[in-house]
Amino acid sequence: MDTIRVVTASLRTPWLEARRADWRRRAQQPGELLYVGLGDSAAQGVGTSDLDASYVGLLEARLQRQTGRSVRVVNLSRYGARVEDVIDEQLPQLADLSPDLLTVTAGANDMRRFDRGEFSVDLELLLGALPPHAIVADLPCFHFGPRELDAVIASRMIADRVRAHRLALAPLHRVTEFRRGWGSVPDFSWDQFHPSARGYRVWESAFAGPVTRRAAHLPAIDPSRDARG
């Protein structure tokens, strides 16, 4: 049976379209290395007005610092995307790219109606299509309620399958769970769902180790380049 996707508009729609346009403009900027982001609204940086304050923007800066090379960012993520959407909409675009760094954050929207069997199938399809240097995050901590119980299960599934595929795991659930409680309130934006700029620094920390290891395998700047002028 074909799936019919219903597209709805809200007061947030113009802002979301503007944000995607901002990322498209950034994709036109040149760079010696290519960083591609896949995922949902968190990869879009919803919750902060500054692209550089999103976790994708922070990882771009980290990669540039650690390699000494300029970085071009192509952000293929979409607000509301589920794992299935990443497979159907974003992976086909990835086929035309050869990223030096690839990060994936997907699955949080699947927790709205978590079906363990469907999630397992979609997860396997996604991971099997990623290049061997991809860095995949598990789910953020939802702090309480049924979604957090599901997120714990889904995060364990992601971690197990990521390791089985010999990909790198960004332990997002662990770093966000560690901050559970009233002290984490500033980690969220006005909607108390998406991360704030401070929250995205927490998210970036989950990727820091795998990105640092990936950067070590990339060619650094040639010290003689500046001397040659």
Splitting the chain (229 residues) into consecutive groups of 10 residues, what average pLDDT does each group show?
46 80 95 97 92 96 96 96 97 96 97 96 98 97 89 97 98 85 65 79 96 92 52
- The pLDDT of residue 179: 64
C-alpha–C-alpha distance, residues 169 and 4, integer Å: 33
Q: Give CA–CA dist 16/13, Å, rounded.
A: 5
Contact 105, 139 (CB under 8 A): no
pTM assigned to the model: 0.88
Alpha helices per DSSP H over the chain:
13-27, 41-44, 55-67, 83-85, 91-94, 116-128, 146-164, 172-177, 197-216, 223-228
* Residue 221, amino acid: I
Q: Which helix (H) or strand (E) holds 160?
A: helix 146-164
